[in-house]
Amino acid sequence: MKNMTLEVFAQEAASKKPVPGGGGVSALAGALAASLAEMVTQLTTGKKRYAEYEEEIQKCMRDAEEVRGRLLDAIEEDAAAFAPLAQAYGMDKNAEGYAEHLEECLHNAAEPPFAILRLCTKVVELDERLAVIGSKLAVSDAGTSVMLAHGAMYGAYLNVLVNTRLMKEKEYAQAKEEEADRLLEEYAKRALACFESVRERLHG
pLDDT, one tens digit per residue, over 156-203 is: 999 999 999 999 999 999 999 999 999 999 999 999 999 999 999 888
Q: How much of the chain exceeds pLDDT 90, in percent?
A: 86
**C-alpha torsion angle, residues 53, 55, 57, 60 (rounded to 10):** -140
Predicted local confidence at residue 91, as pLDDT: 86
Which helix (H) or strand (E) segment holds residue 144: the answer is helix 139-164
> What structural domains does the chain harbor?
21-203 (1.20.120.680)
pLDDT value, residue 185 = 98
Residue 51: predicted pLDDT: 96
Is-contact 33 145, C-beta < 8 A?
A: yes
The alpha carbon torsion through 164, 165, 168, 171 (nearest 10 deg) reads: 60
> What is the pLDDT, as a whole number, of residue 89?
87
- Look at residue 120 in the predicted model and tell me its pLDDT: 98
> What is the pLDDT, as a whole number, of residue 88?
87
CA distances from 46 to 30, 121, 140, 141, 152 (A): 27, 27, 19, 18, 31
Query: Could you tell me which of 33, 28, 116, 117 has the C-alpha nearest to residue 20?
Result: 28
User: What are the pLDDT digits (tens) for 28-79?
Assistant: 999 999 999 999 999 999 999 999 999 999 999 999 999 999 999 999 999 9
What is the pTM (predicted TM-score) of this model?
Answer: 0.94
State CA 148 to chain mean position distance: 9
